[in-house]
Amino acid sequence: MAAPEDVDIAREGRIIVSGHQVDVGEALRTHATEQLTRLSAKYFNGAEDITATFSPGGKGAGFGCNVRVHAGRGLFFDGHGEHSRNAYTAFASALEHVAKQLRRQKRAMREDKPVNATKAALL
């Protein structure tokens, strides 16, 4: 069974870019896939699943975008962005929210490591 055209299966995981009551053009799909692939490679050496869903904004004006990243180990990160005219800007806002969550989680995991006992003994 072949993957649907809106699914890009990368080495790191699966990236799905879709629209809910909105037609997602090829240029927007390509842009979103490239940005999500970069984000996936930067944090946690690749995510298992990433989903970006575009929808009409509030009261039918503008665009909304939801991005959900499953980074494995039970870690899920969600971001939402809206813009009155541009789907790319809505996507950038949602991606920024997710990137901030990933950055904070990565920092927390890095700082949570135990202290090296031999290094502490030398001080």
Give me the domains of the chain, ranges plus CATH numbers: 15-82+91-113 (3.30.160.100)
Q: How far apart are CA 79 and CA 29, in angstroms?
A: 18
**By C-alpha distance, which of 52, 53, 108 is closest to 75?**
108
Confidence tier at 61 by pLDDT (50, 70, 90): confident
Q: Which of 69, 74, 78, 83 is nearest to 22 (CA)?
A: 83
- Per the CB < 8 A criterion, the answer to whether 49 and 14 are in contact is yes
pLDDT digits (tens, 9 = 90+) for 17-59: 999 988 899 999 999 999 999 988 887 777 789 999 999 977 6
Question: Tokens 């989680």 belong to which residue?
Answer: 105
Mean pLDDT calculated for residue range 60-88:
88
Could you tell me which of 85, 106, 98 has the C-alpha nearest to residue 32?
Answer: 98
* Residues 79-123: tens digit of each pLDDT: 999 998 899 999 999 999 999 998 888 888 777 666 665 655 555
Q: How far apart are CA 32 and CA 105, in angstroms?
A: 23
Of 25-29, 38-42, 63-67, 70-74, the range with the lowest mean pLDDT is: 70-74
When pLDDT is cut at 50, 70 and 90, the band that residue 8 belongs to is very low
What is the CA 12 to chain-centroid distance, rounded?
A: 13
